[in-house]
Amino acid sequence: MADKEGKGKDSVICAHAGSLCKDSGFSGKALWQSSVYEFDSLADLASAPYVYRRYSSPNSDELAKAVALLEDAQQGLATSSGMGALVAAVLSTCKAGDRILAQSDCYGVTREFLEVDASRFGIKTDFIDIHHVETLERALNKYVILDETANGHDTAAQDSKSQIVVFLESITNPCVRVADLQSISGVCKKYGAFLIVDNTFATPVRIKPIKQGADMVIHSVTKFLGGHSDLVAGVVVGSSHHIQLASKLAGRWGLTAAPLDSWLATRGIRTLQVRMERALSTTAELARRILCSSTPVKMNWSPDCAIMSIAVTGGLDGAMRAMSCFKMIRFAASMGGTSTTVSHPVSTSHKFLPCAEREAMGITDGMLRISVGLEDVEDIWSDIACGISAAATAAKP
């Protein structure tokens, strides 16, 4: 767990990641692999910042510190994965009888956790189209009674017995839908709901959910923050109170990040801003070329995200033909690294969902999710154009 100390420009925070806890006696540029620490006396033990690695380490604290600063949060907790961050956030916030309102088209494994695992603890989840704020408000109105105050404004009636948590992604995976966080957080505050946002796709150099009213933000650090496809880690940030609760849970459950993964992730954050600038610029140019292409393709993209999804013609066969044409772009089930990769959501992240549910979300057999890397745009475009053409040719009678 790491406390926030001041704030600065994103470029400074990124470039100096791992050098921010000046009073800790540790430097994030060193790797601290110790699992236990030795003490000369009980008094030394009582005042020690680190005792046993399952609870925290200098490297995991440096990673949490860097992301908390970037997200403008009070504190952060580094976890063993992005799913570890989700588990820590949900289980430290919810108890049996509480309810989660989650976006229907969230990451497939997130949905599986909420449906399969959280439900075993008595936490119920409704999946709704949160991107339509009126849908969210109708859902909240089912579970929260509003009191009209003297000044004419509606406020949520206080009920200590139950909690409503709203969960969504700032930019959805894989459909790249951008959430109106300002409006969503306003509705959550009106009904007293706790808002958790997964900001993995946007990164805090593009979107800062806490500034727009979120209570907690989680990341799969494995993706853009780490940026080199050589680690697995996550981070959850928020208020000091909520991160302390999440940290205690993470210590009990063994969810904290390992020192090496934390060290690698902190190193990756030092180049986060420049990597994102390059990838976002390339993504915008690829989107322009696809829109101008003679072969029509349904595309989802955002100027705040280095991920784009395209739906090639010919369904699954078209997707396979397109990927077989890629010479440089490699098929990988993750994203956010330095090299451009492609994934097939129907076969990976959302494979456990019934076909009808996937298609209702816009995830079709022909959808390809492209994670734009740092290569020259001409090389990336050469593969994409070839793949689109191959799928279209195969689909012709």
Q: What is the CATH number of domain 7-19+29-151+159-271?
A: 3.40.640.10
User: Distances in Å between the alpha carbon of 278 and those of 272, 281, 283?
Assistant: 10, 5, 9
11-45: burial string, b at 16+ Cβ within 10 Å, e else: eebbbebbebbeebebebeeebeeeeeeeeeeeee
**CA 216/CA 334 separation, integer angstroms:** 24
Q: What is the pLDDT of residue 61?
A: 96
What is the mean pLDDT of each successive set of 10 residues along the chain, which is 397 residues long? Answer: 54 87 59 93 92 95 97 98 98 98 94 96 97 96 77 51 94 97 98 98 98 98 98 98 98 97 97 97 98 91 98 95 97 96 94 86 94 98 97 75
DSSP code per residue over 230-279: ----EEEEE-HHHHHHHHHHHHHHT-BPPHHHHHHHHHHHTTHHHHHHHH
Q: Give me the phi and psi of 60, to 5 degrees please.
A: -70, -35
Per CATH, which fold does 272-394 belong to?
Answer: Aspartate Aminotransferase, domain 1 (3.90.1150)
Q: What is the pLDDT of residue 352?
A: 82
Q: What is the pLDDT of residue 158?
A: 44
- Which amino acid, residue 384? I
User: Distances in Å between the alpha carbon of 190 and those of 134, 214, 241, 382?
Assistant: 13, 13, 21, 49
Q: Tell me the domain boundaries of the chain.
A: 7-19+29-151+159-271, 272-394
Determine contact, residues 222/191, Cβ cutoff 8 Å: no
Q: What is the pLDDT of residue 367?
A: 97
Answer whether the bond into residue 303 is a cis peptide, omega within 30°: no
Q: How many residues does the structure list for the chain? A: 397
**CA 20/CA 63 separation, integer angstroms:** 10
**CA 184/CA 250 separation, integer angstroms:** 28
Q: What is the pLDDT of residue 145?
A: 81
- Which amino acid, residue 318? G
